[in-house]
C-alpha cells in the first residue's frame, strides 16, 4: 500500500496579502462555488485515470487561498465527491484538514465541517501586532484571532493548530511572546512558524525594492528562529519539520506525505499533482481551470532536486526508499554528498535511512543548496 494525499486548493481570498505568492483571486461579488465544484469534479474525474490500485487515500487538505471563505456546504460536497470517486476514501482517510482565517470562521461552519468528516483545522493568525499586520497588508486583529481560537477550542475538535510568521521588519521577541502565549492559552496542538519570504512579483517585494518598506535582517531572523524553537520545546512541542512544530501525535500527516515524496492529487486552479510517472501543474487562472500542464516523470528525466526540497526539511528519520526511482548514477551522487554532510555533522546516516541533525536544521538552507547543486 502507498499512501495518497489529496489537496484541494480554494483559490479565493477576501483580500490579497502583500507578501503572498499563492494563486488566489478576490471575487468582486459572491464566490462562484457551484462552478468551482463542477470544475474540480471534472478535474478529479480526469486524474482518477492516473491512480494506481495500491494507492490508498489517507489525507485530504483544503488549502488556499482561504478555504474558510467558501460555505460549509462546499466542503461537505467536496468530501462527498471524494468518497464517490475514490471508493475506499471514507474507510481509509485518517486526516481531513481545513485551513481557515479568523475573519471568515464561525461556529456554524466548523460544525458543518465536523459533520462532513473534517478532523483538523489550521488557523492563519500570523501576527497579532496591528503595525505588523499593516506591513504585511493582511487583515486581522488580536480580537478576531482570540475569538476564532476560542471557537476551535470549544468546537469539540481535538486537532487544531495555527500559523505565525517571523522575520517581519521591526518584529520583536515581545511580538512573538504575545502570539505564542495566545496559542498556548487556547491549547493549540500544532504550530507552523514560517519565516517571511520575499517573493518576486508580490507587492511587499516591490515596496522593499523601491525603498518604501524595509526588510528584516537575516541575523535577527536566525535569533528569532532559535527563540521560537526553545520556547516551543519548553512546553512540549517537537520541531518535526523546519517550519512545523507539534505536540506528540499531532504532526500533520498530509504534509509528511509531501516531504516523503508520496503521490498526491491536487485539485483547483494552480494546484500541482504528483502521480508518478506524471506530474501536473494546474493553470493559475480560475477561468481556465481545470487546464493543466503535464510533465512525464521517469527515472531518466526526474530531477532529483524535486525530491530534495521536502526531504531535508523533514527532521525525523527517513528511509532511503524515496531515492528508489532514481538512476544508479543519481543515487551515487546523492550518497557522496550525504557522506560529506555527515562528516560535517549535518546528517546522520543509518543502514537504511538518514536524519537531519539539529545542526542540519539550523543551517537548512545551505544544506539544501548543497544537495540541490
Ligand atoms: S489570506 Fe493567505 S492565501 Fe490569501 S492572500 Fe493572504 S496569505 Fe495569501
- How many angstroms separate the Cα of 369 from the Cα of each of 17, 312, 360, 363? 28, 11, 12, 10
pLDDT value for 117: 97
Measured from the Cα of 13, ligand 1's closest atom is: 4
22 lines ligand 1 (CB under 6 A): yes
Question: Of 353, 366, 364, which Cα lies nearest the Cα of 318?
Answer: 353
pLDDT of amino acid 369: 86
Is the per-residue pLDDT at 63 higher than 80? yes
Give the pLDDT of residue 38. 95
CA dihedral 121→126→131→137, nearest 10 degrees, is -80
Q: Is pLDDT above 70 for 207?
A: yes
Cα(119)–Cα(116) distance, rounded to whole angstroms?
Answer: 9
Least confident of 90-94, 147-151, 315-319: 315-319
CA 23/CA 8 separation, integer angstroms:
13
CA of 345 to the centre of ligand 1 (A): 37
- Residues of the domain holding 169: 2-258
Residues 240 and 309 in one domain: no
Asked whether residue 251 falls in the same domain as residue 306, the answer is no
The grid cell for 3 is: 499512501
Number of domains in the chain: 2
- Are 105 and 171 members of one domain? yes
C-alpha to C-alpha distances, 59 to 49, 54, 352, 371, nearest whole angstrom:
19, 15, 26, 29
Is the Cβ–Cβ distance between 182 and 211 less than 8 Å?
Answer: no
Same structural domain for residues 311 and 176? no
Q: Are residues 223 and 304 in the same domain?
A: no
Residue 267 belongs to a domain: no
Per-residue pLDDT at 235 exceeds 90: yes
Whether residue 33 sits in one domain with residue 92: yes
Q: Which CATH number goes with the domain that contains 308?
A: 1.10.10
Nearest to 160 by CA among 187, 130, 127: 187
On whether both 203 and 316 belong to a single domain, the answer is no
DSSP per position, 21-81: -S--B--SSS--HHHHHHHHHHHHHHHHTT--TTEEEEEEEEEES-GGGS-HHHHHHHHHH
Q: Is 360 in the pocket of ligand 1 (CB under 6 A)?
A: no
Q: How far apart are CA 58 and CA 253, in angstroms?
A: 8
Q: Please indicate, yes or no, if residue 243 is contained in any of the structural domains.
A: yes
Q: 65 CB less than 6 Å from ligand 1?
A: yes
Nearest CA to ligand 1 atom 3: 65
Q: Are residues 133 and 83 in the same domain?
A: yes
Q: What is the distance between the alpha carbons of residues 57 and 2, in angstroms, rounded to a whole number?
A: 9
Place of cell 474540480: 40
Which of 64, 103, 144 gets mutated to test ligand 1 (max ligand atoms within 8 A of its CB)?
A: 64
The DSSP letter of residue 103 is: G
pTM above 0.95, yes or no: no
Ligand 1 atom closest to 64 (CA): 3
Structural domain includes residue 18 = yes
Q: Of 72, 71, 90, whose CA–CA distance to 82 is shortest?
A: 90
How far, in Å, CA of 16 to CA of 137, rounded? 8
Amino acid 370: pLDDT:
87
pLDDT given at position 277: 80
Residue 274: inside a domain, yes or no?
A: no
Give the whole-number percent of the chain exceeding pLDDT 90: 76
pLDDT of residue 297: 55
Cα gap 220→226, rounded to integer Å:
10
List pLDDT tens digits, range 275-330. Answer: 888 888 888 888 778 777 666 555 556 666 667 777 888 998 988 987 887 888 88
Report the pLDDT averaged over residues 77-103. 97
Average pLDDT score over residue span 334-357: 94
Residue 338 lies in a domain: yes
> What is the predicted pLDDT for the residue at 304?
66
Query: Which residue CA neighbors atom 7 of ligand 1 most closely?
Result: 20
CB 290 within 8 A of CB 284: no
Q: What angle do CA 105, 170, 164 make, to 5 degrees?
A: 30
In this structure, the answer to whether residues 203 and 111 fall within a common structural domain is yes
pLDDT of residue 366: 86
Helices (DSSP H) in the chain: which residue ranges? 33-48, 72-85, 89-92, 107-116, 130-136, 142-153, 173-185, 203-209, 218-234, 253-259, 305-311, 328-343, 358-362, 364-372
> Residue 294: its pLDDT value, please?
66
C-alpha of residue 332 to centroid of ligand 1, in Å: 41
- pLDDT, residue 303, reads 67
Segment 213-223, tens digit of pLDDT: 999 998 899 89
Order of strands, edge to edge, in the sheet holding 353-356? Answer: 318-319, 353-356, 347-349
Does 248 share its domain with 319?
no
Looking at residue 280, its pLDDT comes to: 85
Q: What is the mean pLDDT of the chain?
A: 92
Q: Is 178 helix (H, G, I), strand (E, B) or coil?
A: helix
Same domain, 118 and 36: yes
pLDDT digits (tens, 9 = 90+) for 113-142: 999 999 999 999 999 999 999 999 999 999
For residue 181, CA distances in Å to 87, 127, 173, 175, 230 come to 43, 12, 12, 10, 14
pLDDT for position 299: 53
CATH number of 19's domain: 3.30.750.200
Q: Whose CA is nearest to atom 6 of ligand 1?
A: 17
pLDDT grade, residue 167 (50/70/90)?
A: very high
Q: Is residue 61 part of a domain?
A: yes
Q: Give distance in angstroms: CA of 83 to centre of ligand 1.
A: 28
CA separation for the pair 227, 278 (Å, rounded): 41
Q: Is residue 287 part of a domain?
A: no
* Residue nearest (by alpha carbon) to ligand 1 atom 2: 65
Does 60 fall in a domain?
yes
105 and 34 fall within a common domain: yes
pLDDT in tens, 2-41: 899 999 999 999 999 999 999 999 998 899 999 999 999 9
Sorted by sequence, the CB contacts under 8 Å of residue 328 that are 6+ apart come out as none
Alpha-carbon span 276 to 296, nearest angstrom: 8
Amino acid at each position: 500500500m502507498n499512501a495518497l494525499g489529496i489537496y484541494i486548493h480554494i483559490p479565493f481570498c477576501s483580500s490579497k496579502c502583500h507578501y503572498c505568492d499563492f494563486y488566489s483571486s478576490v471575487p468582486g461579488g459572491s464566490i462562484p462555488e457551484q462552478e468551482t465544484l463542477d470544475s474540480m469534479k471534472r478535474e478529479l474525474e480526469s486524474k482518477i485515470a492516473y491512480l494506481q490500485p495500491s494507492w490508498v487515500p489517507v489525507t485530504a487538505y483544503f488549502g488556499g487561498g482561504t478555504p474558510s471563505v467558501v460555505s460549509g456546504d462546499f466542503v461537505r460536497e467536496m468530501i462527498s465527491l471524494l468518497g464517490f470517486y475514490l471508493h475506499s476514501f471514507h474507510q481509509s482517510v485518517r486526516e481531513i484538514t481545513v485551513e481557515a482565517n479568523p475573519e471568515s470562521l464561525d461556529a456554524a461552519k466548523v460544525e458543518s465541517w465536523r459533520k462532513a468528516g473534517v478532523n483538523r483545522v489550521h488557523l492563519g493568525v500570523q501576527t497579532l501586532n496591528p503595525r505588523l499586520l499593516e506591513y504585511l497588508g493582511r487583515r486581522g486583529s488580536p480580537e478576531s484571532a482570540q475569538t476564532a481560537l476560542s471557537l476551535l477550542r470549544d468546537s469539540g475538535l481535538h486537532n487544531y493548530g495555527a500559523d505565525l510568521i517571523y522575520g517581519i521588519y521591526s518584529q520583536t521577541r515581545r511580538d512573538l511572546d504575545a502570539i505564542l502565549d495566545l496559542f498556548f492559552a487556547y491549547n493549540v496542538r500544532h504550530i507552523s512558524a514560517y519565516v517571511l519570504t520575499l517573493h518576486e512579483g508580490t507587492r511587499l517585494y516591490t515596496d522593499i525594492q523601491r525603498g518604501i518598506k524595509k526588510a528584516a535582517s537575516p541575523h535577527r531572523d536566525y535569533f528569532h528562529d532559535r527563540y521560537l524553537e526553545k520556547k516551543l520545546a519548553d512546553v512540549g512541542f517537537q520541531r518535526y519539520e523546519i517550519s512545523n512544530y507539534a505536540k506528540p501525535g499531532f504532526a500533520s500527516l498530509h504534509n509528511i506525505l509531501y516531504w516523503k515524496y508520496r503521490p498526491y492529487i491536487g485539485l483547483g486552479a494552480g494546484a500541482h499533482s504528483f502521480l508518478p510517472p506524471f506530474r501536473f501543474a494546474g493553470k493559475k487562472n480560475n477561468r481556465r481551470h481545470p487546464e493543466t500542464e503535464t510533465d512525464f516523470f521517469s527515472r531518466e528525466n526526474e530531477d532529483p532536486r524535486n525530491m530534495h526540497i521536502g526531504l531535508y526539511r523533514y527532521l525525523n528519520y527517513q528511509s532511503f526508499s524515496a531515492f528508489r526511482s532514481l538512476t544508479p548514477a543519481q543515487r551515487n551522487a546523492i550518497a557522496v554528498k550525504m557522506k560529506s554532510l555527515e562528516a560535517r555533522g549535518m546528517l546522520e546516516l543509518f543502514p537504511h535511512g538518514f536524519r537531519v541533525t539539529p545542526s542540519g536544521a539550523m543551517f537548512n538552507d545551505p544544506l539544501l543548496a548543497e544537495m540541490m547543486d
